[in-house]
Structure 1
Amino acid sequence: MKRNMGNADRTIRFLIAVLLGVLYYNGTISGTLGIVLVILAVVFFITSFAGFCPLYSPFGISTCKPKNKVE
């Protein structure tokens, strides 16, 4: 599994996951929408730590900085 997420992308996903978790815990979001957003938060949390987004692969998207090749 090759990383396809840069540091900024990973940080933003992590912050969104934390925000959604806090909003659900406080009761600001609840019901079906709350459950869906918590599941999304879990997915964001996992992908932010793995550095890999499965949805980026089919489209060839990568937010990683290209590695400099030494010649």
Structure 2
Amino acid sequence: MKKNMSNADKGVRTLIAVVIAVLYYMDIIEGTLAYILMAVAIVFLITSLVNFCPLYRVFGISTCKIKNE
């Protein structure tokens, strides 16, 4: 897999995931919405860790400044 995410993109995704986790922990979100948002948060964290977003590849987007060869 080639990197297609910049550090800023990874930071935003991680921040969103942390905010969702805090909202869940504080019982601000609950029920089905909480489970859906937690799944989104987990996907955001995984894509941030591996520096690759499959949807970016489908749409031909790359926020990474370094060109992969």
Does TM, normalized by the shorter one, top 0.5? yes
Gaps (5+ residues) in structure 1?
none
Alignment correspondent of 1:39 = 39
Runs of 4+ in 1 over 6 A off after TM superposition: none
Q: Which residue of 1 aligns with 2:10?
A: 10
TM-superposed deviation, 1:32: 0.2
Alignment partner, residue 60 of structure 2: 60
Mapped to 1, the partners of 2:66 and 2:36 lie a distance apart of 34
- Indicate the structure (1 or 2) with the bigger Cα radius of gyration: 1
Cα distance in 2 for residues equivalent to 1:5 and 1:31:
31
Unaligned stretches of 5+ in structure 2? none
TM value normalised by structure 2: 0.93
1:66 deviates by 3.4
